[in-house]
Amino acid sequence: MVKTGDYEGTVVRLGFFTTTVRTSREELVSLPNSQLSSGLVNYSTPRKGKAVRFSVSVGIGYDTAWQQVHALLKSAAAKVEEILPDPAPDIRQTALNDFAVQYDLLFSLEDPSKRPAVTSVLHVQIQDAFHNAGLQIMSPHYVADPSVDKIPPAGPSLPKNTSA
């Protein structure tokens, strides 16, 4: 599982001049090996005993306690079956922006090729967690407080299983 430029997928053929990658949309993309010589991210080869860590980011307003944000993000991750419990999902506060704190939720997967599907389900679980707690997600571009909170009504969540 690799990422380079705009392409992310599983290497299906490594040739002398080109490498073919199958994307999560089942597209076969042939890339010149010269493009792969810089800027390639390989998600399939972590250090021995380690797992690749992926992340999703949200911006949450300063009026929400960081402890609550951490708990909500971890509870959302716990609802996604493919996210490994070990290493446990972790939260990093990566920026103190003008209107919101930027939080990154780091998580690991047994199969890195499932990252796009798992990330989609994780985004739904994060939205549900914050909406059910009555909190607004302020990212990516928050400008000012609306006259009325922008929190949709609670609704049904997606099933935990993301297998397609």
pLDDT tens digits, 111-156: 888 999 999 999 999 999 999 998 888 765 655 666 676 666 666 6
Q: Is 97 exposed, middle or buried (0-12, 13-18, 19+ CB in 10 A)?
A: middle
Q: Does domain 2-42 have CATH number 2.30.30?
A: yes
CATH 2.30.30 in the chain, residues? Answer: 2-42
CATH of domain 53-132: 3.30.70.100
pLDDT on residue 41: 85
Specify the 3-state DSSP secondary structure of 66: helix
The confidence band for 164, taking pLDDT boundaries of 50, 70 and 90, is very low
Every domain range in the chain assigned CATH 3.30.70.100: 53-132
- The predicted-structure confidence for 1-27, as pLDDT tens digits, reads as follows 888 888 888 899 999 999 999 888 889
Q: What is the pLDDT of residues 63-114, one digit of tens each?
A: 899 999 999 999 999 999 999 999 999 999 999 988 889 999 999 999 888 9
The model's pTM: 0.75
Report how far residue 160's alpha carbon sits from residue 158's, in angstroms, rounded to the nearest whole number.
6
Angle in degrees, 0-180, between the axes of helices 66-78 and 115-132, rounded to the nearest 10: 130
Pairing between strand 18-23 and 28-32?
Answer: antiparallel
Count the neighbouring beta carbons within 10 Å of the beta carbon of residue 121.
22
What is the helix (H) or strand (E) element at residue 34, kind and residue range? helix 33-36
Residue 43, pLDDT > 70, answer yes
Position 146 scores a pLDDT of 65
